[in-house]
Amino acid sequence: MSNFAERKPHAVFTPYPLQGHINPLFKLAKLLHLRGFHITFVHTDYNHKRYLKSRGPNALHDLPDFRFETIPDGLPPLDEDADGDVSQHIPSLCDSIRKNFLQPFLQLLARLNHSATTGLNPPVTCLVSDCFVTFPIQAAQELEIPVLLLSPLSAAAFWSFMHYGTLVERGIVPLKDESYLTNGYLDTKVDCIPGLENYRLKDLPDFLRTTDPNDVMLNFFIEETAKIPSGSAVVFNSFDELERDAMNAIYSSSVFPSVYTIGLFPLLLNQSPQNQLASLGSSLWKENTDCLEWLESREPGSIVYVNFGSITVMSAEQMLEFAWGLANSKKPFLWIIRPDLVTGGSVILTSEFVNETRDRSLIASWCPQEKVLNHPSIGGFLTHCGWNSTTESICAGVPMLCWPFFADQPTNCRYMCSEWEIGIEIDNNAKREEVEKLVNELMVGEKGKKMRETTMQLKKKAEDVTSPGGSSYVNLDKIIKEVLLNQKTSFD
């Protein structure tokens, strides 16, 4: 992987300011850094404080060409009782991104380019942004530099969001009233999204499940996705064979100037020696690494890993159903429980549950998930179906139990359970008996065994496309040359 002999190109990265969106953009930043780019990664002030708190004050030393900058998020501070370690209110963030982010970002770019005149850093040569954070497109146009947009979602979920406006125009959404959530309407097949013809409304990202035509999230996605075609290119943490129908529809739509698949990121990063980047993570929570030591003492393939991601919340009653389902399965488990996982209160697990599972369970507040999933003792993953978790589980060859919570997770769940056959869906209102039964099916049942084999086959395909000469490996070099360095040849 060659570095550029000339002055380093300088890419400025702008994630949507939530953990699940930061992770894939951070991996792409690492990939470009390994190929010779100077990186500036832009956090909001709030997230940067969380980042330093989780990583320690010395986390950013000794990285002269991978730097962090901040811009304000335009939101009032969280109340004083909050510990500053929770994700912010998503609709408020969306509203603020549209209204408040562009000017501070332009000022930051001007500052970076000014410091380039004194040799502190190279001038900014390109922007890389989350595709749902489109203000960098305007900044790129003003500076006359390319802007690459990364979808942090599956291609199918991205493509669904691109058609929210069509669904509104056709009167399919907003819902007529609340009864449409439960009367079978969400089972309606959607025939207006090319490549997703057999999808039901309930399979699409769930922000369309609103009765309000002025819903902040519905309108945020309609407005932001309308701007995406103005970017220089769109890139996916996926590969063509994984999402053939959605990708074929996107390629043939001619909506975007260029489209590339360069996934799956964990395996693509494995192709490079990490050097000083190895210890540089993207977590906003402090990761508990003691769990890795605990896993060392466990039998291969014996542990159920449970993690509902960075946003999912549940009721105390639902929490207890999962807890007793796990306990009654008699299977050992590692359960990641964020302090804010339970709505309206703190997490309380009964002493009876703790005593029942003491010798075969470990509970932690956060963990280095990729290391956990790749540990030989992990046999299955009970997940919320976020795209990062989905792809990381595929890269580790671990089958899943699926409990989608919101956003793109129903779309990913459909992939896992209906198309790829590497997951089993748990009912939204899961009871302990169902959890117990499905945990056992996943870990020791015939279906679990078959899913494990299928997941390993998908992992092999992902390894092939991310190896030298594979499509994702080649596409990353194409993006660098054709988009970020803008070196298209006359016959391209």
Q: Active-site residues: which are they?
A: 21, 130
Going by C-beta distance under 8 Å and a sequence separation of 6 or more, which residues neighbour residue 460? none
SS3 content of the chain, % helix, strand, coil (to 5): 45, 15, 40
**Residues 475/260, Cβ–Cβ less than 8 Å:** yes
**Residues 105/14, Cβ–Cβ less than 8 Å:** yes
Three-class SS of residue 274?
coil
Tokens of 382: 């009970």
**Residues 398/462, Cβ–Cβ less than 8 Å:** no
CB neighbours (10 Å) of residue 412? Answer: 28
Residue 167: its H or E element = helix 164-169
Residue 50: which of 373, 385, 382, 340 has the closest Cα?
Answer: 340
Residue 277: which of 463, 69, 39 has the closest Cα?
Answer: 39
Q: What is the CA radius of gyration of the chain?
A: 22
CB under 8 A, 24+ apart: contacts of 46-53: 46/17, 46/73, 46/75, 46/84, 46/88, 47/17, 47/22, 47/284, 49/84, 50/84, 50/85, 50/284, 50/285, 51/284, 53/84, 53/85, 53/286
